[in-house]
Structure 1
């Protein structure tokens, strides 16, 4: 009798544990909360499974109710959203990582607030999925490979082929060159100082009295030149006045310059005088008569 009671207690306990576990899963999936179903489509390999959370703008609003695998390479995911939450139009569904252990969840990202919402049974368009932990680790592994190759090349160039030694030698030679340049600069400074001193001695050796006398003579010459220029201007003015009187006046000189008839008369008189002289030379007896007793 005692043995039988123990068996019954064990069976009841096992059933209670199983029911409690099933009830916990049911509650976790919103068993006591009514909701409506929305759908979305993703490509194969998304990593979705039943019970994963559904977030709307970062707020948990439901869970993945079912995942149906289609032969065309798509996953039809049904999501149960609690009744108090409405998904606005323009929202896209993406799969995002959930933690560091490869788990994922569905993130509903609204484009902007709008009074229009998805109704039960509508399909939410899928957006661009964010990189998963595996993708990130793959990229990190690729980057680590590149860094390893780079470090190996640096080691070969600067360690195996004595590149660091050459760099040190170059630095030493550069320091030596800088020291030589500093010496040259110091020597040039000394030479410049000597040159400046010599220039000062030459400047001091010049007789200031002689310089003043020369400047006075130059000033006197400039004054004479100024006086000569004034005289030339006065003479030019008088010549201009005389020329104007000859050109525009009524005197004999003006008539000689401006009267064409007088010019013709004088030219005719000169021609007749020339003819007379020619005739005189040819026939002097015509004009001179000599009688001798």
Structure 2
């Protein structure tokens, strides 16, 4: 009786284990529904295997049905999509990490809304793969190696080659230079203070009375120059008036300068006077009679 119970328990446990395995496989492959197939092509080493989920905008819409390798370095991935979901023709497929343990999945991303959908058996274009934990760790390792190389170089230059001692000597020389520069600045400041004091002394020694008298004399000279300028302006106006009259026919001078006939008469009179003078010099008795009683 006891042995029969043990056999029954073993059978039940075996059946439960088989059912659990079958249920896990069914869940991994989308349950009892197979869906319609679509395909995409990825490079080798993508980490995909059958049963991994397929997400469409964050919603699980299917699973990876099959993965086949080609000789050109690519994988042909069959995805089984539930029949209730339709994929627009702007959809791209990417392989992204699924958790932190290295598991992967396919993420479908829509590039834009459209009325056209992929048909059964179509091939979806593949997008760039996302960075996984392995890629991040590889980059961290690369950065660590670069930091180690930099540290080694600094140790070589600063410690082993005496660079640190040279740096300290440079700092000491800079301190000496700054001290000397401070001393020179203080000396120049004192000299400038003495120069300012001497200038103040010279300025204070100037007699204010002499300055006032000089200013008054200059003011009087400026007044006299103003009066002289006024007189010169009046004289200039008078000369302008005389010149205007001479240029016109007003007055005797204007007539003499501007009347041609008067000019000719004057020239004729002068000619006759010259002739009379010459005749008088030649024959004075003709004009002067002298008798003595």
TM range (shorter): 0.7 to 0.9
Residue 176 of structure 2 corresponds to 176
Q: Deviations over 1:166-199 (max 9, x none)?
A: 1112112212222222222222222222222222
TM-score under structure 2 length normalisation: 0.83
Q: Deviations over 1:123-142 (max 9, x none)?
A: 22111222444444444433
Q: Deviations over 1:50-76 (max 9, x none)?
A: 011111122222210111223444322
Residue 191 of structure 2 corresponds to 191
Residue 147 of structure 1 corresponds to 147
Structure 1 gap ranges (5+): none
Rounded to whole Å, the distance in 2 between the matches of 1:128 and 1:177 is 60
Aligned ranges 1:1-293 → 2 under 5 Å: 10=10, 13-33=13-33, 35-267=35-267, 270=270, 284=282
Q: Report deviation, 1:212.
A: 0.8
Q: Report deviation, 1:270.
A: 5.0
Q: Report deviation, 1:101.
A: 3.8
Q: Report deviation, 1:203.
A: 1.5
TM-score under structure 1 length normalisation: 0.83
Q: Deviations over 1:89-135 (max 9, x none)?
A: 30100112233443321110111344543343332211122244444
> Which portions of structure 1, spanning 4 or more consecutive aligned residues, are displaced by more than 6 angstroms?
1-5, 275-281
Change (3 A) 1:275 1:164: farther
Q: What is the alpha-carbon root mean square deviation over aligned residues?
A: 3.2
Change (3 A) 1:204 1:2: closer
- Does the CA-based 8 Å contact 2:28-2:53 persist in structure 1? no
Moved more, 105-114 or 264-273: 264-273
Rounded to whole Å, the distance in 1 between the matches of 2:152 and 2:275 is 126
Structure 2 gap ranges (5+): none
Change (3 A) 1:275 1:249: closer
Aligned residues: 290
- Does the CA-based 8 Å contact 2:96-2:131 persist in structure 1? yes
